[in-house]
């Protein structure tokens, strides 16, 4: 129930973002893939958008922009307005890690993680809601993390940025409901993406031991939750944080 809608996915080059873009395109949405330059496997964002459009008989637009750069983000929204004249769905997925123990966290890391993971999310919500008001409503889904709900040693900055998304989601849901804009979030747990590729076998085994369902999740499983919340099937759902974690939060 997203056919014909215009959907923006940030961090769309890989992982959860790419899986979400694919699922939206397969469901008939017109998809804007936004990603920073130089992030990927060598093929261009334009090629990816073209492949998705051809595979699913829909329209896709590639926008190269760093969400943490306000001028690049503004240019991206102007490109969306010029191409489609509207925006119906925003998926705030772009994010970075920043692991370091307290006392050893560089100031530059703090700024980079907060700028990318939190300030950019708020900037996207602001820009997207302006366009959504013009067309009578929309849906915003942001990707937080189980770490933002329960914390994790060595991830104080990352956890703070993801916890901030929860607060922003709840507040925006209350503020934008009158405009017909629903705002929700998903909180993935241990998901098989590049973000866990740096973990050694011992840490991986420890994390898996803490998952009641006994396995890591997939990017596609998170994408299914995102697309549900963005769709008309979730038309009476707003201000919620949906865990996609195999029970880790229990």
pLDDT reported for residue 23: 98
pLDDT reported for residue 43: 66
Which DSSP string do the residues of the chain spell out, in sequence order? --TT-EEEEESTTSHHHHHHHHHHHHTT-EEEEEE-TT-SSSS-HHHHHHHHHHHHTS-EEEEE--TT-HHHHHHHHHHHHHHHS---EEEE-------B-TT---HHHHHHHHIIIIIHHHHHHHHHHHHHHHTT-EEEEEE--HHHHH--TTBHHHHHHHHHHHHHHHHHHHHHGGGTEEEEEEEE-SBSSGGGTT--HHHHHHHHHT-TT-S-B-HHHHHHHHHHHHSGGGTT--S-EEEESTTTT-
* pLDDT above 70: residue 100: yes
Domain spans, the chain: 6-192+218-243
pLDDT reported for residue 17: 97
Separation of alpha carbons 92 and 88, rounded Å: 13
Express each pLDDT in 102-139 by its tens digit. Answer: 999 999 999 999 999 999 999 999 999 999 999 899 99
- Percent of the chain beyond pLDDT 70? 93
The active-site residue out of 6, 32, 90, 158 is 158
pLDDT reported for residue 85: 96
pLDDT reported for residue 216: 85
Mean pLDDT of the chain: 93
Q: How confident is the model at residue 250 (pLDDT cuts 50, 70, 90)?
A: low
Choose the weakest-confidence range: 19-23, 39-43, 142-146, 152-156: 39-43
pLDDT reported for residue 78: 97
Most distant CA atoms of the chain, gap in Å: 52
pLDDT reported for residue 208: 72
**CATH 3.40.50.720 is held by the domain 6-192+218-243:** yes
Express each pLDDT in 185-239 by its tens digit. Answer: 999 998 887 666 566 566 667 777 778 888 888 999 999 999 999 999 999 999 9
Q: Is 158 a catalytic residue?
A: yes
């Amino acid at each position: 129930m997203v056919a014909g809608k215009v959907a923006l996915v940030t961090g769309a080059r890989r992982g959860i973002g790419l899986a979400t873009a694919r699922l939206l395109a397969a469901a008939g949405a017109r998809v804007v893939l936004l990603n920073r330059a130089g992030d990927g496997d060598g093929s261009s964002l334009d090629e990816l958008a073209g492949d998705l459009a051809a595979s699913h008989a829909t329209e896709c637009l590639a926008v190269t922009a760093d969400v943490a750069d306000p001028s690049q983000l503004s240019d991206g929204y102007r490109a969306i307005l010029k191409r489609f004249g509207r925006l119906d769905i925003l998926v705030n997925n772009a994010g970075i890690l920043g692991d370091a123990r307290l006392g050893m966290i560089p100031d530059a890391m703090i700024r980079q993680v907060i700028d990318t993971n939190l300030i950019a999310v708020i900037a996207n919500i602001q820009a997207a809601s302006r366009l959504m008001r013009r067309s009578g409503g929309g849906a915003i889904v942001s990707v937080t993390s189980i770490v933002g709900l329960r914390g994790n040693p060595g991830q104080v900055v990352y956890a703070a940025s993801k916890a901030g998304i929860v607060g922003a989601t709840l507040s925006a849901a209350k503020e934008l409901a009158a405009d017909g804009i629903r705002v929700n979030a998903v909180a993935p747990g241990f998901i098989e993406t590049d973000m866990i590729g740096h973990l050694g076998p011992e840490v991986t085994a420890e994390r898996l031991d803490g998952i009641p369902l006994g396995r890591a999740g997939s990017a596609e499983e998170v994408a299914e939750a995102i697309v549900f919340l963005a769709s008309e099937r979730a038309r009476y759902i707003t201000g919620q944080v949906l865990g996609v974690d195999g029970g880790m939060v229990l």
